[in-house]
Structure 1
């Protein structure tokens, strides 16, 4: 099976793609699985996709980070930053460059393109659904993504495979490694959903840990739109008394950070002891000033996000931040898919989470 595997890492994912390739070489032996590609641009900004080596009859895995805005290209003598639209367009170019010669094409897109534009409320576009239909029409057999904002997007392409992977195992492992005094019982620990959209992932983790959940409900001003969304008026809490407890706030992403800071402030008012934040994607699209201030004032203890998307250098240096490495997990996913093995243990890693928790012995400080 080894010889039919091919990795194509777009510029947005080349650093992590190289590391994933190294892991696969350790596991399976042989030379590199990486097939070089490039998307050169004309001075007008137009581009084309090029695959350097043959991928005929290969099981191809294309890795892309649509949220990576660190890349720049020159257009009309000025530098432009790559937007999600630019990164997605380059993905389509590389798929088109495969020319139908690959045996199977799987796109590894950890941050689902336009995943937040997943439903229609007014006269508006359904960008995520359009993207999925485009990839289906271009011959993509499977899409691997992580913690999709709305997993029901799978219904758009019911005859194609979509693997929506949870990083819950890695979050569990790093928390219980970093902190030796977590008491895992309903009297000392609770999982918190910052809004109704996060309830499913919170219920999963709380069930495995054997503790309760709480939920915040976002009251919004639907008469106005600010920066593309209706502003939040208040966070209302549904749940039991929190005084003296450790809480874990779980969400799919931190964008500006304003919402998560509001939630932490509300939790502190309710007397929680420590606040840990699990967010699959740390975008921090409005900088770090607000989050730095929140940490300095004691609103939270630690933020854990994955390296599934581009991480700003200044983020990695923050005292309150922990980067959860997912490279080996992506390598395992690719290895499993290439061997046609079951994906269930990787998509919902409940068994390994329970083993991690069972082996954890807290050190109780007196």
Structure 2
């Protein structure tokens, strides 16, 4: 990134620590302090969102950092109102940095008289004034087509691959598992990056959120299994898949999940499960219970997002960050390679 290129970073309330980590990474890159813009984001007594931006953003490249995680509706309204304020303050370009894009699970009509909420959210962001979206592991890739503006969808797989290679020294007995047929492409990508085989859990649902039956496609006997998925919500299906794999002869079960929604009884289920470890990213701010869980570990994707922001501002390739050779130096503080 050229020194003369100026960017402004504005954080909502959903994951401020993530935004601060990005600012630190950019500060190291530029050799000078980079701070988050001074902004007030509060609620009136009745719950309405109030925003005031104190820094001048006229003709500036602005990145609004906000995951639409729980409370999803409040965080969505925050980014919409922040964007409106920036547009009215004559910002040159507004990029919505949404590590976790909420409402992505409603990406198509699954039954009569159901909404396509992901498209509605895309329309809201565009109408508010968002010029570009930077996100990670969209639940459905076609959501990029819901926008008439550019969408850069980053992937956790390269970061997960670095982490697996660091913590699983010998990969001969490792196999990657997709928890359902729909996630095969995501699991195959990690399997290819670390050079191991692939298995699939065929999951059949009854009512929404309820699993009728699960079957393993592939041989997992004597293997250390790594389940890969984009979202872990209540963790019921994940824990059942772990038990199923162990019942099929797997020696250990680990999971790598991009977005740790972890609502309701999720943390308790995971800590009391047979799963040896669950690795999530910091796309959603970890709760105290998550931090205290003995078998949950958080891998930061803030350095990846920070570099992507720099590339966007400078007009450089974002897809270059899908290469582990590019990510290695960015994550050298996390992992040491021979």
Shared fold (TM-score, shorter chain, > 0.5): yes
For 1:124, the equivalent position in structure 2 comes to 114
Tell me, yes or no, if structure 1 residue 261 matches structure 2 residue 276.
no
Deviation string for 1:229-267 (max 9, x for gaps)? 25210112222x221112211001211110011111110
For the aligned residues, what is the CA RMSD? 2.2
Structure 1 residue 283 displacement after superposition: 1.9
Q: TM-score, normalised by structure 1?
A: 0.84
Corresponding residue SS for 1:54: coil
Q: Distance in 1 between matches of 2:233 and 2:285?
A: 13
Q: Give me the whole-angstrom Cα distance separating, in 2, the residues matched to 1:276 and 1:360.
A: 22
Specify whether residues 343 and 282 from structure 1 end up closer, same or farther in structure 2 by C-alpha distance, changes over 3 A only.
Answer: same
- 1:100: Cα distance to partner? 5.8
* 1:330 counterpart residue number: 305
Task: Name the count of aligned residue pairs.
Answer: 328
| Deviation (angstroms), 1:218 | 1.4
In the TM superposition, what is the alpha-carbon distance from 1:47 to its structure 2 partner? 2.8
Structure 2's unaligned 5+ residue stretches are none
C-alpha offsets along residues 70-99 of structure 1, whole Å, 9 cap, x if unaligned? Answer: xxxxxxxxxxxxx20111001111111011
3-state SS of the aligned residue for 1:11?
Answer: coil
Partner residue, 2:180: 195
- Say if 2:141 is the partner of 1:139: no
Q: Is the 8 A contact 1:40 1:47 kept in 2?
A: yes
CA distance in 1, matches of 2:14, 2:40: 11
- TM-fit CA distance, 1:276: 1.5
Q: 2:158 aligns with which of 169, 172, 177?
A: 169
Q: Equivalent residue of 2:241, what SS?
A: helix
Contact kept, 8 Å, 2:165 with 2:194, in 1: the verdict is: no
Residues 274-293 of structure 1 aligned to structure 2 (within 5 Å): 274-287=252-265, 288-293=267-272
Verify the 8 A CA contact 1:5 1:338 in the aligned structure 2: yes
Q: Distance in 1 between matches of 2:193 and 2:168?
A: 18
CA offset at residue 198 of structure 1?
A: 1.1
- Contact 1:110–1:309 (Cα < 8 Å) also in 2: yes
Match of 1:236 among 215, 219, 243: 215
Q: Aligned residue for 1:65?
A: 67
Aligned to 1:78: none
Equivalence for 2:11: 9
Equivalent position of 2:226 in the other structure = 248
Taking structure 2 as the reference length, the TM-score comes to 0.90
Q: Distance in 1 between matches of 2:253 and 2:36?
A: 41
SS of 2:50's partner is coil
Instruction: Single out whichever of 25-34 and 9-18 deviates more from structure 2.
Output: 25-34
Q: Distance in 2 between matches of 1:40 and 1:277?
A: 36
CA distance in 2, matches of 1:244, 1:42: 57
Aligned positions of 1:149-164 closer than 5 A: 149-157=139-147, 159-164=148-153
Unaligned ranges ≥5, structure 1:
70-82, 362-366
Deviations 1:335-363 (A, max 9, x none): 111111001122x335558999xx979xx
The question of 1:210 aligning with 2:184 is answered: no
| C-alpha separation in 1, matches of 2:222 and 2:46 | 60
Corresponding residue for residue 312 of structure 1: 287
Structure 1 segments of 4 or more deviating over 4 A?
A: 350-356
Measure how far apart 1:58 and its partner are: 0.6
Q: 2:76 aligns with which of 88, 113, 135?
A: 88
Q: Are 2:171 and 2:196, in contact at CA under 8 Å, matched by a contact in 1?
A: no
Instruction: From the superposition, tell whether residues 177 and 230 of structure 1 become closer, same or farther in structure 2 (CA, over 3 Å).
Output: closer
Alpha carbons 1:282, 1:306 under 8 Å: kept = yes
**SS of corresponding position for 2:121:** helix
